[in-house]
Amino acid sequence: MEEALSESDKALFGKLKEWRKEAADKNGFPVYVVCNNKEMLELVRNKPLSLEGLRNVQGFGDKKIENYGKEIVELIKSFVNVE
């Protein structure tokens, strides 16, 4: 699954995992409630840079975008701009 990713995509996946753990801990949820691994891989592959772009990622509906969208988009934007 993760093995097929480029080095930069693996780094982004790692950042998303860190963010997911923090978000889950903050809300007292298991990490998969915030975002499962399949959704995380979709985020890495698609790299949505807007809330609208997030709608194209399977598993991201209004509730998840409302709760986490802004943080995810900011994280991806900062990562994409670093490269």
Q: What is the 3-state secondary structure (H, E, C) of 2-46?
A: HHHCCHHHHHHHHHHHHHHHHHHHHHCCCHHHHCCHHHHHHHHHH
- Give the residue extent of every domain in the chain: 12-82
Structural contact between residues 44 and 12, judged by C-beta atoms closer than 8 angstroms: yes
Comparison of pLDDT for 83 and 13, the residue scoring more: 13
pLDDT tens digits, 49-75: 999 999 999 999 999 999 999 999 999
Q: pTM of the entire structure? A: 0.88
**The domain at 12-82 falls in which architecture?**
Orthogonal Bundle (1.10)
pLDDT tens digits, 2-49: 568 899 999 999 999 999 999 999 999 999 999 999 999 999 999 999
pLDDT band at 81 (very low <50, low <70, confident <90, very high): confident
Q: In this predicted structure, what is the pLDDT of residue 2?
A: 53
